Amino acid sequence: MKKFTANLFQVYVWLVIYPLAWTLTALVAVIVSVLSIFGMSQFAGRYVAKFWGRAILWITPVSVSRVGQLHIEAGQSYVVVANHQSIYDILLVYGYLPLDFKWVMKIELRKMPFVGFACEKMGHIYVDRRNRQASIRAMNAAKDQLINGTSVVFFPEGTRSNGVSLKPFKKGAFKMARDLQLPILPVSISGANRVMPTGGTRILPGKISMTFHAPITLDQINAMDDSAVADMAQQAISSAVV
């Protein structure tokens, strides 16, 4: 997009995208919280949160392509690991990841108005990276939820990267996969950084691709240490980030 057009588009961003996205986020968070309190968290995630992600992508607008869905086995729970380029990754995962899932989220996000409470009620996992024992307790409490095809999603970089180059992967996702004996599903997200770059407020229309790689099997996980498994996942994810 040419510079003049991109600058002009920011008028639409501030007059339409941000007001609609903030309003929709607050409304969906309230609906999700109520549904979850009444035991309908799976419905809330599968339908309400999915609508939220897709709606904001649509008004931006962002076109989404998905590759490799045949790698996902119906009814199988996974430890899903994906690179993290932008806030738009979260919309993409909610809108287009074809799994019921729980996030692993840093504890600071619990303070977000509406969203933090809604995520807690949906059963997402808050981890305090400054308190190892509290993190272990949170992860252990989450284990019973990861059955019958419910998966857990990590951004193992721990924070957003600046695009194509991935940050080193933290080991928590890979330790959980080993502990729970679950396969790891590597997912590449590409293009989200061009829609909304890290650290800024500019948004541009664009394309985001989501690539599902062949899972890392239990045999592979059990034959390697966590560092080797993390390297294997990172190599797979890097291969489809452009």
Kindly report, residue by residue over 23-59, the tens digit of the pLDDT. Answer: 999 999 999 999 999 999 999 999 999 999 999 999 9
Kindly report, residue by residue over 145-183, the tens digit of the pLDDT. Answer: 777 789 999 999 988 887 778 999 999 899 989 988 999
Q: For 45-183, list the strands marked E by DSSP.
A: 62-67, 79-82, 100-106, 125-127, 150-154
Q: How far is the C-alpha of 88 from the C-alpha of 52, rounded, in Å?
A: 12
β-strand partners of 206: 62
More confident residue, 54 or 103: 54
Coil, helix or strand at residue 152: strand
Region label for 68, one of left (φ > 0), alpha (ψ between -120 and 50) or beta (otherwise):
left
